[in-house]
Structure 1
């Protein structure tokens, strides 16, 4: 079922332009509350004791982004299993629910995509198909039943992730997603910094970055090396994911 999420293309756009993509008819796929709970997606439940942590994070993130006029945010981590995708999803939901902005979450962890799995989305089209030229962007976007929350999932792992993320088509995609709507925040779930050079390939195209560090997951050496690699990026802050409970997240 489609929902009017965003307006249509600008006058003067040509059919071949990324800017001509029609966003208005975004498929709606309602999420399963039990599935979300199992995957620690809680920001949509305002009575949940953990959702406040993501609301605090949202306020801090938006304040810093607004001060600099930034609209695109990368979420990464030093190593795997740090909880970065959980943070990215909950932050996007909190932004969509508590502000008048659209939050668009893009799964750019092309080697190990997990946004769709975490949200329980099973769509025939995704970012893979758009980049391969087999689907329009409108066909790949999905609204998981929350107003102003839109997801661009990745369904299949990509071996040549670094080359794809540094490609001209991805550059045009990021530019279009950033510039089309002034009230949109775009969050990119990126791979871990130390896993490959994927993050370094795409990060110069994204306004700022938030790093998630899993306590007991990344060593101090790994954290320092990740911070060193991100030294030229606009670092928004670091999330310390203390344990399996989202209530234990801390922001610095």
Structure 2
């Protein structure tokens, strides 16, 4: 708990020196030279959808642009997260927050995109916030089938995976809230799905965008299935008592660190 308090305190003291992860600005073309360095990947079964970069930028998804200076903070976070995960042989990461509106989905998508920019890793980000799924909305996609259909046995997982037109990145979206979400996340089907996503590719990092801890028992029910956790808190919004309670709920799960989000209009900080 003291480490979390120190991280939040340090972030507030150092406002003005870290790049903003949420600022909106004119979108520049994606760095084609960087794309040329990526190993060619052909998606024969996964649906490929071209995204609207203006929509991404309006929703604070910025790491698609390698030249955006605000993407640097996520690249640093990526490097530190991957270092710890590789050290322990971990491949699955849950991202949650104490309460709603802390920015966990924005962090999940930006971190996944940053990981996908590496030449030796692929990333999959899955919308496991079954109560309030948002990844599809943030990406501006409207797939006919989603995770909801997989859990209802109306689709296979390979039928709902999407490549959002960026190399080395795959998305498992969800369009519809799922009833009995905690029970669904504890089901044999959910556990088998996690293992399938984890084991299909050796160099894949799987990121699960999870519900806020205090929104119900969904995340606590699911956390034993992931290797490690990132906690996203909102500066000026998340109360110390909420951080303390979130840490208590995570308990023995492998907490990698705390992402301090929304520090101010032009500054967003993370501490690992």
TM-score by structure 1 length? 0.89
Cα 1:181–1:245 change in 2 (3 A) is: farther
- Cα RMSD of the aligned pairs, angstroms, is 1.3
What is the rounded CA distance, in whole Å, between the counterparts of 1:99 and 1:60 in structure 2? 16
What is the rounded CA distance, in whole Å, between the counterparts of 2:267 and 2:186 in structure 1? 36
Q: 1:159 aligns with which of 155, 179, 184?
A: 179
1:168 lines up with 2:206 in the alignment = no
1:133 lines up with 2:153 in the alignment = yes
What is the rounded CA distance, in whole Å, between the counterparts of 2:234 and 2:139 in structure 1? 21
Q: CA deviation at 1:223?
A: 0.5
* Partner SS, residue 25 of structure 1: coil
1:4 lines up with 2:42 in the alignment = yes
Q: CA deviation at 1:221?
A: 0.2
Match of 1:238 in 2: 258
1:110 lines up with 2:130 in the alignment = yes
Match of 1:185 in 2: 205
Q: CA deviation at 1:143?
A: 0.5
Cα 1:161–1:149 change in 2 (3 A) is: same
Contact 1:81 1:217 in 2 (8 A): no
What is the rounded CA distance, in whole Å, between the counterparts of 1:180 and 1:37 in structure 2? 31
1:74 lines up with 2:74 in the alignment = no
Per-residue Cα deviation, 1:38-87 (whole angstroms, up to 9, x for no partner) = 10000011121210011001000000000000000000000000000000
1:143 lines up with 2:181 in the alignment = no
Aligned residue pairs total 232
Q: CA deviation at 1:4?
A: 2.8
Q: CA deviation at 1:136?
A: 1.3
Q: Which one has the bigger strand percentage?
A: 1
The 5-angstrom pairing of residues 214-233 of structure 1 reads 214-233=234-253
Unaligned runs of 5+ in 2: 1-40
Q: CA deviation at 1:180?
A: 2.1
Q: CA deviation at 1:247?
A: 5.0
Q: CA deviation at 1:246?
A: 7.5
Q: CA deviation at 1:189?
A: 0.1
Match of 1:52 in 2: 72
With a CA cutoff of 8 Å and minimum separation of 6, indicate the structure with the bigger relative contact order: 2
Unaligned runs of 5+ in 1: 6-23
What is the rounded CA distance, in whole Å, between the counterparts of 1:241 and 1:67 in structure 2? 26
